[in-house]
Structure 1
């Protein structure tokens, strides 16, 4: 990535600006702006997240926000209340208070003498969510949004549930937030840091059981789901996603449903901004963002408004690699979405593990038993991988061998896909709780298997996400699994496979009993694209502002391994991330973290599933030192999901706070 040190505007950095909410709570903002903005007001661009601007996202912020300021914007990075250096308490993600504060921050920005009155909002993940949610509320000064790695439906496409199935990441993220939100403000900015810290610790929620208790798409999930009223968003939206992330469906949903100008950008990336994301190719996202803001916040006629509806990097076949640094492929552009270049091709699931070809009539009947081991799924990868520590889906052939698979013959010519495949099934179940997972895979001549996309359905939700019901036992029923948006071109000589399973650990929490499904009929709908042989778009090369000034105090390390007990058969995925310690040479804060996750299960016992997560956060400066430690565990019985946790806080070597959590959540439809 190219480092840019000279910009059209000289940048002034204000590290701690107070924005006071109507209830008196002071939010802390860091603002980079062009010198002389008070005399020549500029638009403001807001990023509003809980991940701590003083240390958490600082390395990322330093490379991005000064870049915007250098191109004529006031770049504003605000800590959500109860996090970082902001006052108040946080109670949940995307709360009404959080969004009300966002609206108030935008109003405040627009009224400042250095602001032109036009405000844009952007963010990735949490910030990608809340910029769409804030646009939904229509603050008058908000003129445009850039949303990266986000969702439009908090039940269908977030870290809690997918297809009505309880995600393993629900517990993982609950453990993350238990750790993240327990950290104190920097005493260099907050003389009252200790009193504030004790208030945070006293109020700290363990959110994983709360999220898991809402097992249908109820009012809790509808809040903050902008799909509840597409027309409420009345500002232009640039939606960005990555094929290696699990938020790729949002791009298609926004393009298909918003009536305002909306454009989609899909790359090969993990859960990161595209100028620094892997796998490559990374792109000049910051240049693209400036062009977007120039068009919609400054009224510059730069061709952005006339640009393609979708720019997508179509992946090419290559060997599976959970740490791949670069993906082969081509950029395609679509003037409309759904694309008129994409046709629906239907393949019939046929007895014997094959496809019956293009359909002309009813699917062939069959009776294929589907009951997979509980330890299928260890090659699934992370829900939102962040880097190259073997977080991407690996070779699927091991999981394929435990699944029921249907393959095409070797392809005589390449097959390109762009869209969401759909699998329509007629099934029979022997249990009232069951789910089915479908993985669409690219199988090379040597047998290695790459996951193109996947989809899953809790069969209790076969008719409705809002009103689930028991799976009928011994009675045939219909179900449709919608797989994730994909952009992929299989090479000639490869085979297309759909692999089906009733288990997917640790990506999904298992059903309370081992279920056996019988596949009676099946049809696979494929979004077939003509493909391209040359790029239809040439993105700019990535560039950014200079990196943060820091010193490594202690080097970090990472590990990811699978362990198997040869006596019990219990298999565990162990993930370790020791972030080391780094000193900020600008303001002197030293911080770091350590995390260990263990996901374990026995092949024939769904009630043996267990998740254990530990986090440590470390801060020090000038003789001041604090540490927080959290531990979280999830297990289950047939009737309940069981959560325990412990949070400890240390000042120096002294334990100053400890709290235990324990909660049982009834299993209604998981």
Structure 2
């Protein structure tokens, strides 16, 4: 039995945590009152003390345990959202600060210690009288990375994982398509260095970074100009900037997602179409499915942050159902299909037997007059050039970012710039459903060999408002981009992430092509110098050439009324 009398140090959760819990709406009623053991000391792999809070139901029973390992502290938002909420539903919740954060001993080293420290924590759990051998993991963002690290050598007690907007490959996060993700990297570094110190410290750090970000974006070298924005030097960030090549030995072992290739632990993955971790979540799902692992996927109309805010009722319900099914032998809350996605344009949820669903790749061909056509142009068109000037970099608008205006935004002003090319269809005569990964297959020529190619799919409504749907960036190298002295242009593919979106009749589809999205990505200096030490700026002349095309995965034809029924019938049993 588990009762409060077995925990001499137990107390009520902190007043602020209880107050924040009461502000959460749209959640199931609590099954139990909750008690809290704060500041327990768990020995890390090398003996460093890891501070840990334990939340548990005030009731008799053999309750399963959830492990959450966080570098962001053990307070807001994790205490009310994970600690109290899941303990209310009948789980022991073990919320731990990663080494070097939140009062834990040792030194925080990005990703290197998570696997060993996770296993050491499970060894400690085995010694606790309330631990009954049924373990699940839970957590968002870097807390998701900590789960994948533990799954590299999953302990036998691990029976379920739930990853919210999570990452498994930190190199891929810092260098999307080879371009340095400046804004998101600075924002997440600010969170890693300040949030574990408390909400006030986080607020001050956030305001400081916001104040300094414009200067960081326009001043070189980045290895020096970032320092005022973060209040001092950050060793792990300097290591990130000093090693831009994935093949560098510095990144050995960074991809914890390889665990999914052999995992047998049932895993629920939750993300949003504008989440910074969307691509990695979909990669995780694909790896799990190929390995034959039981996996579920939920993708909502969310950003990295809004999934845990506006989307929290859906995220919590999905997570609770998965954990009850696999830790409590109660599958009653599971849905009947593996995947559920929110379809933009329809503004509706759709259940699917798997992701990506059955689709047909359809091609829209770029023409030199700025149109997108379903048929290839009859004649090759003349190159369409633009000049990318890093002294006046093409700005970023919306998309999967951690700060500022994330998500779908109005791109009209951006598309009026001379350094942004657009290619647009005629108004659609009938709705078009795009479900899956989008890509642009382009022929590109540059005069320097150094450039970024940023491609974005937009939905243009009848009033002319252009809203971004998905996008991607690719950093060209001199070996990729031919010089203009008579040689053929480089054939490149820009992966533009995935989407589930309906383009309604009367709307137009638009492809943007430009040389960057700043400060979301650090501007390409045009010299090939490393991002930390580059000091010179060189404009690049870039031209698109024939033949180039946009490739969209279009859903098999089916009516709105029968689509969900069709997918539900096709869904395999779990």
Q: Does the alignment reach a TM-score above 0.5?
A: yes
CA distance in 2, matches of 1:164, 1:225: 16
Change (3 A) 1:363 1:496: farther
**Deviation (angstroms), 1:3:** 6.8
The equivalent of 1:524 in structure 2 is: 550
CA distance in 2, matches of 1:313, 1:182: 33
**Deviation (angstroms), 1:393:** 4.6
CA distance in 2, matches of 1:35, 1:398: 57
Matches within 5 A, 1:331-350: 331-340=349-358, 342-350=359-367
**Deviation (angstroms), 1:267:** 0.5
**Deviation (angstroms), 1:405:** 0.9
**Deviation (angstroms), 1:411:** 0.8
- The alignment covers a number of residue pairs equal to 487
1:397 equivalent to 2:427? Answer: no
**Deviation (angstroms), 1:70:** 1.9
**Deviation (angstroms), 1:83:** 0.9
The equivalent of 2:217 in structure 1 is: none
Contact 2:27 2:313 in 1 (8 A): no
**Deviation (angstroms), 1:434:** 0.9
Matches within 5 A, 1:62-77: 62-77=80-95
1:457 to 474, 489, 502: 474
Across the aligned residues of Structure 1 and Structure 2, the Cα RMSD in angstroms comes to 3.0
2:303 to 240, 259, 270: 270
The equivalent of 1:568 in structure 2 is: none
1:17 equivalent to 2:27? Answer: no
CA distance in 1, matches of 2:25, 2:157: 33
The equivalent of 1:515 in structure 2 is: 540
2:494 to 459, 481, 491: 481
Secondary structure class of the residue paired with 1:284: helix
1:41 equivalent to 2:62? Answer: yes
1:472 equivalent to 2:482? Answer: yes
The equivalent of 1:494 in structure 2 is: 507
Moved more, 216-225 or 430-439: 216-225
Greater fraction strand? 1
Give the TM-score taking structure 1 as reference length: 0.67
The equivalent of 1:61 in structure 2 is: 79
Change (3 A) 1:313 1:22: closer
Contact 1:148 1:240 in 2 (8 A): yes
CA distance in 1, matches of 2:34, 2:276: 36
Greater fraction helix? 2
Matches within 5 A, 1:250-649: 250-258=280-288, 259=291, 260-272=293-305, 274=307, 276-278=308-310, 283-302=313-332, 304=334, 307-316=336-345, 329-340=347-358, 342-358=359-375, 364-374=380-390, 375=392, 377-381=394-398, 383-385=400-402, 390-402=405-417, 403-460=420-477, 469=479, 471-474=481-484, 475=487, 476-512=489-525, 513-520=538-545, 521-529=547-555, 530=557, 533=560, 536=564
CA distance in 2, matches of 1:532, 1:224: 44
Contact 2:443 2:490 in 1 (8 A): yes
Contact 1:44 1:73 in 2 (8 A): yes
CA distance in 1, matches of 2:199, 2:463: 54
Contact 1:230 1:257 in 2 (8 A): yes
Moved more, 432-441 or 390-399: 390-399
Contact 2:437 2:496 in 1 (8 A): yes
Change (3 A) 1:224 1:300: farther
1:236 equivalent to 2:266? Answer: yes
Q: What stretches of structure 2 of length at least 5 have no aligned partner?
A: 1-23, 201-231, 526-537, 566-574
**Deviation (angstroms), 1:369:** 1.0
**Deviation (angstroms), 1:255:** 2.6
**Deviation (angstroms), 1:454:** 0.6
The equivalent of 2:72 in structure 1 is: 51
1:214 to 240, 243, 256: 243
1:595-620 Cα shifts (integer Å, max 9, x gaps)? xxxxxxxxxxxxxxxxxxxxxxxxxx
1:168 equivalent to 2:178? Answer: no
CA distance in 1, matches of 2:94, 2:447: 56
Give the TM-score taking structure 2 as reference length: 0.78
CA distance in 1, matches of 2:154, 2:193: 33
CA distance in 2, matches of 1:116, 1:362: 70
The equivalent of 1:248 in structure 2 is: 278
